[in-house]
Chains A and B, each alone.
Chain A
Amino acid sequence: MGNERDAYANGTRYVNLVIKPLSSEKSTLDANEAVANVAYRVCELFAIYPITPSSPMGEWVDEWSAKKKKNLWGHIPEVIEMQSEGGAAGALHGALQAGALSASFTASQGLLLMIPNLYKIAGELHPFVLHVTARALASHALSIFGDHSDVMACRQTGVAMLCSNSVQEAHDFAIISHSVTLKSRVPFMHYFDGFRTSHEVQKISILSDDDVRSMIDMDAVKAFRENALTPDRPSIRGTAQNPDVFFQAREACNPFYDAVPAAVQEAFDDLAARTGRQYKLFDYEGAPDAERVIVIMGSGAETVSETAAFLNATGEKTGVVTIRLLRPFDPVAMLAALPKTVKSIAVLDRTKEPGALAEPLFQDIATALYESDRAGIRLIGGRYGLGSKEFTPAMVKAVFDELKSASPKKRFTVGINDDVTKLSLNYDETFDIETADTRRAMFFGLGADGTVGANKNSIKIIGEGTDLYAQGYFVYDSKKSGAMTVSHLRFGPKPIRSPYLINQASFVAVHHFPFMERIEVLAQAAVGATLLINLNVPADQVWDRLPREVQARIIEKKLKLFAIDAYSVAHAAGMGGQINTVMQTCFFALSGVLPRDEAIEAIKYAIKKTYGRKGDAVVAKNHAAVDASLAALHEIKITATVTAKENREPVVAAVAPDYVKRITAVMMAGDGDRLPVSAFAPNGSFPVSTTQWEKRNIALEIPVWDATLCIQCNKCVLVCPHAAIRCAAYPTAAGEGAPETFKKTDLKVKDVPGHSFTIQVAPEDCTGCTLCQKVCPAKDKTDLKRKALMMAPQPPLRATERANYEFFLKLPPAPAALLQDTVKGTQFRAPLFEYSGACTGCGETPYVKLLTQLYGDRLLVWPTPPAVPPSTAVICQPLRTRQRLKVEVRLGPTRSSKTTLNTASASALASTSSLSSRGASSANSPTSSQPLSSKASAPPTSRPTPASPLSVV
């Protein structure tokens, strides 16, 4: 150890490196990996704790450490997971005191938990970097998505704050942060937008080890080590000071802060000298003689910059000032970035401080202008993009237009329809600035069907195999099972600076056909775009299977329609249900990103590279699948007029409550962006019992009950994770008038004569997990494989079982004599936790459901997540089950009087690991949740709701 310390101290220990830049100078990866890639090379210790969307950075360094990869100095960095971010920050503080080069990764509530230690780390001037995926904080609801609420809550801690706007910048600014913190001794928070940047895949230039090494000042490393707490050089730290000296001692750090801006600029310049990528503390882009300027920080700056360039080409004079170093704030650098011609500025903040005079960026800019000779510039400020709300060129244009107006709104929001406080700016949704030389493709896949993986692979093939630039962003819905994934891919000859979803796609692929029957998947299809559908019918029947609305859209937009039966192709090729290679081949063949032959060659080459080690046979099998895919791909003839007879099914049933139709259904249809402010309760509450209206139909097979074999144990009902199979015991007369296929048998309970018994499945809510069949103990003695529950294909059963289930739900409650506290007895009671978004086969939900069956009529539940805000009692936190939270709380003894506490809307998403959240729903604290009573089912807002929440101004 002593030798190592000496080697570090004299700065000579340069060992050949093990972490190589990822294969080439250019690489396609997301910002989390791009940042971890740098941090790992220059650190010795990471104390971490998981929180979305920063967790992948911790996962990368943990994986590399487990694989014994080495850092720049030939050491394997140590990775320690703590019990919370509070613990992680404490461990880091200790590690820094001991002289270990350390970093961590976090976001949102996790960042808040680090605040006490950030003060200490900064107050003691420890070089340290915290990489943050900026994310919303839980307020009226939890959100795992991006905005700047978390980082803005740390402005006062004393950390330097450096913001990157893109994947490339995140990679570059990672080393800038590590470099300058060592030189300046001021700890750095380096942050970038959660999901939009952290999870966006881009083709970027990777810094070589030499680049990274050149940025680390070994004298500074030596000084850091010499500052380590050690009994060999005793020192006293962390003292308490009295009123006589605390103040002046606190001011002693000022020179260190004063030196940071110049040090960052110097590091920017050093990096530019090596890479050609030049950054400034405040970067200006736009017309040199701009009159209207937007000041902004984060990925939105890219959008503003793109839009300003577009507007300037039409003769406008606009520009954007991008804030890179927010703390310490250098007003001179800011003013220097601002063209002399500027007359008005809009400052855009991606955070909200209720009650503040203005949001923090605005206040900084206002102060800087006020103290300069340019106080005459008109200044307005607005909020945008909270919780990853899309921020598009159309919204940017609205802001520039507002600056043009004679009396602009001093404070505004953009991107929503605020029909309550009227703060929002109107914008023209059709405004689009995307250029023709960029190919844009969208893919609708079913969670875990391989669509996202295949798309990431396509980006790599094209990004790393050609000169084209590539961008990928993946949107997941919030269900754990049967989730929809939408992939947004762009390819073009120039670096892609469009951190927003695709609006005009030249290629749309629907990998899971049922989506077409439920939601609008062609809204973003450009006129003349190519549409690819995976549908298991012969090519000549494809057109007739499309709903009327879809046919009309295809005709109206003059789409070229192609179809393939990918399931059959994959099956024939011996690939089981994995359709990703098949669909990927079709994309390469049709999209026009690469010439067709070249594209097919590229995909075959990629297959060879991926499967080469597994032998020629595997490669040949996959190559055969590529050829078979091309053979099975058919262009579908489009008729001149709509020929289909069937319309798309309504999102929710006609009998659904008004609130569900007006609001929940709009969210379910993927149109939640259009809901205005007035649609929502100001405290974040939602009405209960809404899950029943979302019929998801994701089960391929559902259980079918054999009344003659059943021993009426009710175990199937107990184990069902989604409350989709139920039992009833009812007076035989109540079963009269049942649909023809409704099944029943005599109740086999001696003391309760004259009753019937039924096991009924909810066909559209079942997820097909088979747990009920597995647990069923009733076997056919003549055929031991036959049980009282057997799985059968759902589609042919859907309509009849739906009618049966509706009848079932109207049956009277079971007689009290049956309701004992046993497996059988509890299951006769109505579950009040039903149809959750949990994974197929979930092992958690049956317990929660059981709780509602036992105590539903008087149950008070406080779900808890791990992210515990420091000042809040632990028992008042959101549920940390993995499923979308839908807790139903029964209030009366009968089915009809139940209400549901539904905090679903803003909750956990993603079946993939990288996208799930910590903490599934909003806090439900005693102060905010009124005692649940039947009143809770009233609409949560007393404000009159506009006739049509769909109107967008």
Chain B
Amino acid sequence: MKTLLAGIADEKAKSLLSLADYLVKKSVWILGGDGWAYDIGFGGLDHVFASGRKINILVLDTEVYSNTGGQCSKSTPMGAIAKFAAGGKETNKKDLGMIAASYGNVYVAKVAFGAKDSQTIQAFVEAEKHPGVSLIIAYSHCIAHGYNLANGLDQQKLAVDTGYWPLFRYDPARIAKGQAPFVLDSAAPKQPISAYMANEMRFQSLVKMNPEHAAALGKRAQAAAEERFTGYQHLAAAGAKAVTPATLAGPASASPAAPAKETPPAKPSA
């Protein structure tokens, strides 16, 4: 087309020639790490979730601030030692995927190419096709985890097999087809997550430093992983009506009776 346009003297043709490249739809992607997505950039990221625009987000999740040398983020798992968490992280990794999915119209996938590469590619393709916002959270093994990265793919597989990193896709397009939007792509855990944690220095250094604390956190982390997996199973089993994870949260929070905090009852707003 450009060749043809170049041969036409008409002003409109010239104008079209200068814009010809834009006739090809661009594929727009935001790339960031977990420090950005879970912490410092989260406010903006959430705004993008809510925008409804056709834009794709790929989070390369190393579970620490890799670039500044491995400091703790809200993606860092419970029981891991990181810089700024020298005593071991006490709280659970935030479930960013479910936060995004709670909008109902955001495509969300959690992937790990070393565990199931076909699912990774499927998620990339679906995300790009999705007419709104998409979010892919990609397991990224990292030197900050403290093991020889030659075993990175094995660790990815273990992360999935133990239920530490469940693979899923939440595709709003499935609702129209009468299907549950949430698809769980990994099988029920075959091993405890301790099998995964045993291979990484970030967990093992806490075991060496403070074995009781490490054991306690390990136990809580196992329970949390099981709860999360069960929750995902429910979502996957739900019908097309159960469009958001909020449905899962139980009657208390789903209840419309809960008053909004900023509106004092029975008093006119200033």
Kindly identify, within residues 39 to 68 of chain B, every residue whose CB is under 8 Å from any CB belonging to chain A: 39-45, 47-48, 55, 58, 60, 62, 65-68
User: Does B44 lie within 8 Å of A874, measured CB to CB?
Assistant: yes
B115 to chain A, nearest CB (A): 11
Kindly identify, within residues 131 to 189 of chain B, every residue whose CB is under 8 Å from any CB belonging to chain A: 138-143, 148-154, 156
Question: What per-residue 1/0 map shows which CB atoms of A52-90 lie under 8 Å from chain B?
Answer: 100100110011011100000000000101011000000
- B-side binding surface: helix, strand, loop or mixed? mixed
**B117 contacts chain A at the CB level, 8 A cutoff:** yes
User: Does A774 lie within 8 Å of B150, measured CB to CB?
Assistant: yes
A719 to chain B, nearest CB (A): 6
Considering residues A48, A81, A840, A880, which has the most beta carbons from chain B within 10 angstroms of its beta carbon? A880
* Residues of the A chain whose Cβ atoms lie less than 8 Å from the Cβ of B128: 854-855
* Residues of the A chain whose Cβ atoms lie less than 8 Å from the Cβ of B138: 844, 847
User: Does A770 lie within 8 Å of B36, measured CB to CB?
Assistant: no
Question: What per-residue 1/0 map shows which CB atoms of A870-884 lie under 8 Å from chain B?
Answer: 000111010111100
**A555 contacts chain B at the CB level, 8 A cutoff:** no
Kindly identify, within residues 1 to 39 of chain B, every residue whose CB is under 8 Å from any CB belonging to chain A: 21-22, 24-33, 35-36, 39
Q: How far is the CA of A841 from the CA of B151 in the complex (A)?
A: 9
Considering residues A62, A65, A826, which has the most beta carbons from chain B within 10 angstroms of its beta carbon? A62
Q: How far is the CA of A914 from the CA of B74 in the complex (A)?
A: 21
Counting chain B residues whose Cβ lies within 8 A of the other chain, the interface size class is 35 or more
* Residues of the B chain whose Cβ atoms lie less than 8 Å from the Cβ of A911: 143
User: Does B70 lie within 8 Å of A913, measured CB to CB?
Assistant: yes
* Residues of the B chain whose Cβ atoms lie less than 8 Å from the Cβ of A79: 84
Which of B55, B84, B113 is A719 in contact with, Cβ under 8 Å? B113
User: Does A84 lie within 8 Å of B150, measured CB to CB?
Assistant: no
Question: What per-residue 1/0 map shows which CB atoms of A847-885 lie under 8 Å from chain B?
Answer: 110110011011111111111100001110101111000
Look across to chain B and name the residue whose beta carbon is closest to the beta carbon of A448: B143
* Residues of the A chain whose Cβ atoms lie less than 8 Å from the Cβ of B152: 771, 841, 843
User: Does A866 lie within 8 Å of B40, measured CB to CB?
Assistant: yes
Look across to chain B and name the residue whose beta carbon is closest to the beta carbon of A907: B67
* Residues of the A chain whose Cβ atoms lie less than 8 Å from the Cβ of B67: 865, 880-882, 908, 916-920
User: Does B21 lie within 8 Å of A844, measured CB to CB?
Assistant: no
Look across to chain B and name the residue whose beta carbon is closest to the beta carbon of A81: B84
Which of A59, A861, A933 is B31 in contact with, Cβ under 8 Å? A861
Q: How far is the CA of A826 from the CA of B123 in the complex (A)?
A: 13
* Residues of the A chain whose Cβ atoms lie less than 8 Å from the Cβ of B48: 874-875
User: Does A83 lie within 8 Å of B42, measured CB to CB?
Assistant: yes
Q: How far is the CA of A576 from the CA of B192 in the complex (A)?
A: 34
Look across to chain B and name the residue whose beta carbon is closest to the beta carbon of A821: B125
Given A55-B69, A66-B86, CB of A866 within 8 Å of CB of B39? yes
B30 to chain A, nearest CB (A): 5
**A308 contacts chain B at the CB level, 8 A cutoff:** no
Which of A839, A847, A860, A879 is B113 in contact with, Cβ under 8 Å? A847
Given A55-B71, A874-B48, CB of A858 within 8 Å of CB of B84? no
* Residues of the B chain whose Cβ atoms lie less than 8 Å from the Cβ of A920: 67
Which of B55, B62, B71, B153 is A775 in contact with, Cβ under 8 Å? B153
Q: How far is the CA of A178 from the CA of B118 in the complex (A)?
A: 57
Which of B21, B35, B45 is A880 in contact with, Cβ under 8 Å? B35
**A769 contacts chain B at the CB level, 8 A cutoff:** yes
Counting chain A residues whose Cβ lies within 8 A of the other chain, the interface size class is 35 or more
B113 to chain A, nearest CB (A): 6
Look across to chain B and name the residue whose beta carbon is closest to the beta carbon of A911: B143
**B85 contacts chain A at the CB level, 8 A cutoff:** yes
Look across to chain B and name the residue whose beta carbon is closest to the beta carbon of A770: B150
User: Does B31 lie within 8 Å of A83, measured CB to CB?
Assistant: no
Question: What per-residue 1/0 map shows which CB atoms of B113-125 lie under 8 Å from chain A?
Answer: 1100110111011
Q: How far is the CA of A914 from the CA of B122 in the complex (A)?
A: 38
* Residues of the A chain whose Cβ atoms lie less than 8 Å from the Cβ of B40: 49, 83-84, 866-868
**A715 contacts chain B at the CB level, 8 A cutoff:** yes
Q: How far is the CA of A846 from the CA of B120 in the complex (A)?
A: 11
Which of B26, B31, B150 is A864 in contact with, Cβ under 8 Å? B31
User: Does B26 lie within 8 Å of A844, measured CB to CB?
Assistant: no
User: Does A822 lie within 8 Å of B118, measured CB to CB?
Assistant: yes
B15 to chain A, nearest CB (A): 16
User: Does A843 lie within 8 Å of B65, measured CB to CB?
Assistant: no
* Residues of the A chain whose Cβ atoms lie less than 8 Å from the Cβ of B72: 81
* Residues of the B chain whose Cβ atoms lie less than 8 Å from the Cβ of A231: none
Kindly identify, within residues 90 to 116 of chain B, every residue whose CB is under 8 Å from any CB belonging to chain A: 113-114
Top-7 shortest CB links A-B: A874-B44, A841-B149, A913-B69, A843-B141, A864-B32, A66-B87, A66-B86
> What are 17 A-to-B residue pairs whose CB atoms are below 8 Å?
A52-B68, A775-B114, A841-B143, A841-B148, A848-B60, A850-B113, A850-B124, A854-B128, A860-B28, A861-B30, A864-B36, A868-B36, A880-B33, A881-B67, A882-B62, A913-B69, A931-B22
Q: Could you list 20 further interchain pairs (A-B, Cβ under 8 angstroms) beyond the known A913-B69, A918-B68?
A: A55-B69, A59-B83, A59-B84, A62-B85, A66-B86, A83-B39, A719-B153, A842-B140, A844-B62, A848-B31, A851-B31, A858-B27, A860-B27, A861-B29, A862-B30, A867-B40, A868-B40, A880-B36, A880-B67, A913-B70
What is A's interface to B at a CB cutoff of 8 Å?
48-52, 55, 58-59, 62-63, 65-67, 79, 81, 83-84, 715, 718-719, 769-771, 774-775, 821-823, 826, 839-844, 846-848, 850-851, 854-855, 857-868, 873-875, 877, 879-882, 908, 911-920, 931, 933
